[in-house]
Structure 1
Amino acid sequence: MIQQFIELGEGYGDVYELCELMKTNKHRISRTIIFTATEGEKKVASIAAVFNPVGESKFTPIYICREGIPYSAEKPSKRLEIFKETVNSLDQLLITLDVKHSSIYAEKDLYYQYLIGILRLYHYIPSLH
């Protein structure tokens, strides 16, 4: 089984693209997630959607808009609101996880391995068999 992050950008267009992927593939959505992280004084969010494999495929795509969204409980970002509205309209459970910021990893692939480890630990994605 291959579980891989597919990174979209962090702008409005990318959030709309992720939401459209979710709407057109709603039957494949496994999980929807907000990852929050702190770098210095700034708290940021990544939004992600985990899709089930297609047919006999062993590929689990995890689409993500990484760390480009400011995160604040007092004043929610419009991009987060758009994502949350889409998740609610699709009757999905939204999971929020506080994780380490990607800047502490030497390579982006190591960061994604860290996130995959967390998702497996909490059984949000299947472990490798």
Structure 2
Amino acid sequence: MPQQFIELGEGYGDVYELLEIIKTNQERFHQAFILTSTTKEGKKVLSLAAALKAVGDSKFMPIYICREGIPFNEEQPTKRQSKFEAQIEQLNRKVVVVEIKHSSIFSEPKLFYQYLIGILRLNNYIPVLS
């Protein structure tokens, strides 16, 4: 099953768009992710992502992501992170937290997203390519 990341933005107002996508596609919801990484300056940031099941015979799995625009603090989650987790809890599901490399070490976003798909497939969070 081919998967593709669809970037909504860096996690400011677009988090609310991601929440609406999850809410309106509850029957397609597959898995939610909090992807944490460290910038070159040593600051921890997170990305919020949600994978949806394929529609009909398409076999295409979209993974919507708000990439690396939200500060990460283990003790005090931000409002955006809390709202995201609450939305997933309403579906009686849990968010998967994954530590990843920051996208800045990749020469282009496409390579970063290929890396992420590999990580998510290896951990059986999304289906393998068929």
TM-score range, shorter chain: over 0.9
Identity in percent: 57
Structure 1 residue ranges without an equivalent (≥5): none
TM-score normalised according to structure 2 size: 0.95
* Off by >4 Å, runs of 4+ in structure 1: none
Alignment partner, residue 61 of structure 1: 62
Q: How large is the Cα RMSD of the aligned pairs? A: 1.0
Q: How does 1:1-129 map to 2 (within 5 A)?
A: 1-39=1-39, 40-129=41-130
For residue 18 of structure 1, give the secondary structure of its aligned residue in structure 2.
Answer: helix
Deviation at residue 10 of structure 1 after TM alignment: 2.4
Counterpart residue type for residue 4 of structure 1: Q
TM-score by length of 1: 0.96
Query: How far, CA to CA, are the matches of 2:31 and 2:11 in structure 1?
Result: 22
Higher alpha-carbon deviation: 48-57 or 84-93: 84-93
**Deviation of the 1:76 alpha carbon:** 1.4
Give the count of matched residue pairs.
129
Structure 2 regions of 5+ residues with no counterpart? none
1:21 partner amino acid: I
